Amino acid sequence: MVQRVGCLGPRAAFSHLVVETFFGKNIEQILYTTIPKCIDAAANGEIDIAVVPIENTIEGTVNLTLDYLVHEQPLTIIGEIILPIQQHLMVHPSLKDDWKTIDRIYSHSHAIAQCHKFLHDTFANAAYEYSSSTSAAAEYASKHPNERIGVVASELAAKEYGLEIVQKNIHDYPYNHTRFVILHPSQKNDLFRTEYKREKEKTTLMITLPSDQSGTLHQVLSAFTWRKLNLSKIESRPMKTGLGRYFFIIDIDMLYDDVLIPGAIAELEALGCSVKLLGSYGAYTI
């Protein structure tokens, strides 16, 4: 069973909230200042697993996480946790009554992006500045009462750092959820315990198409379609080796089996694709 669980900090980041809620008290939390540092720690055995954000319903993929996993540290996804996200605007208590005069919005880029409309409508002239996490921005604001900063973060962060929430639920769409992945160096089952019920099972593949062959994506998709393998996500990301070169991330709605998924992979390889299994895992919602 895992003991040391790493995530983005400092205390009260959404990543920390998801770890605390999902694993309870029986683990040791290790908080990192960046997502790559946390992923590296899982790769070199400093921690047992890393829990990192990978996708948000409003802003889409956390490219830093996906790219780092694909290009730098090939860990395996051994679980998925979905957390509802409520973003609030908070300020140092000394700014509580004139919060509309703030001239800087400080938070994680994904949090700011989830509230773009609200921020644009309310603070036409404020500058945006990105922090390493929502809670890092809250911690900074708590220590700099003389700066006119507004922070986008969670209620927990406001409590943790003694900030005043001046506008609640400022995310632009009410359905705001972030998907986190649990990463481990190898595909292992039953590594962790949680009180949450496994709601779904998934397999994630990374597929690189042969270059300059017409209709390959169509053939790739049909390898899944005729096997009735339901896909819950397909996304392309740049290979970073030249314009127009992409790989695809595909989520299949079932665990890796002995027949259907290996059959689809063999068919894709026969088409000239290269296929990598990123993980086969259970999905949970908090």
Ligand X SMILES: O=C(O)C(=O)C[C@]1(C(=O)O)C=C[C@@H](O)C=C1
Q: Is 134 in the site for ligand X (CB under 6 A)?
A: yes
Asked if 282 interacts with ligand X (CB under 6 A), we say no
Q: Is 13 a binder of ligand X (CB under 6 A)?
A: yes
How far is residue 132's CA from residue 130's CA, in Å, rounded to a whole number? 7
Site string for ligand X, 140-179 (x = CB under 6 A): --------------------------------------x-
Please, which residues bridge with residue 89 across strands? 152, 167
CB of residue 206 to ligand X, shortest distance in Å: 20
| CA distance linking residue 113 with residue 176, whole number of Å | 12
Tell me which stretch binds ligand X (CB under 6 A): 8-16, 223-231, 254-262, 269-277: 8-16
Residue 162 identity (one-letter amino acid): G
Q: Which of residues 79 and 264 has its CB atom nearest to ligand X in the complex?
A: 79
Is residue 82 part of the contact set for ligand X (CB under 6 A)? no
Phi, psi dihedral angles at 135 (to 5 degrees): -75, -30
CA 267 to CA 252: how far, in whole Å? 16
Which of 94, 58, 113 is CA-nearest to residue 166? 94
Which residues, 94 to 133, sit near ligand X by CB under 6 A? 108, 110-111, 133
Instruction: Report the residue from 2, 8, 205, 275 that binds ligand X according to the rule CB under 6 A.
Output: 8
Judged by beta carbon, residue 13 or residue 261, the one nearer ligand X is: 13
Residue 10 interacting with ligand X (CB under 6 A): no
Q: How far is the CB of 176 from ligand X (least distance, A)?
A: 8
Rounded to whole angstroms, the Cα distance separating 4 from 38 reads 12
Buried b / exposed e along 115-138 (16+ C-beta atoms within 10 A)? beebbeebbeebebeebbbbbbbb
SS3 at position 103: coil
CA 161 to chain centre: 23
User: What number of CA atoms fall less than 13 Å from residue 203's CA on the CB side?
Assistant: 19
- 61 interacts with ligand X by CB under 6 A: no
56 touches ligand X by CB under 6 A? yes
Residues at the interface with ligand X (CB under 6 A): 8, 13-15, 53, 56, 62, 85, 108, 110-111, 133-135, 178
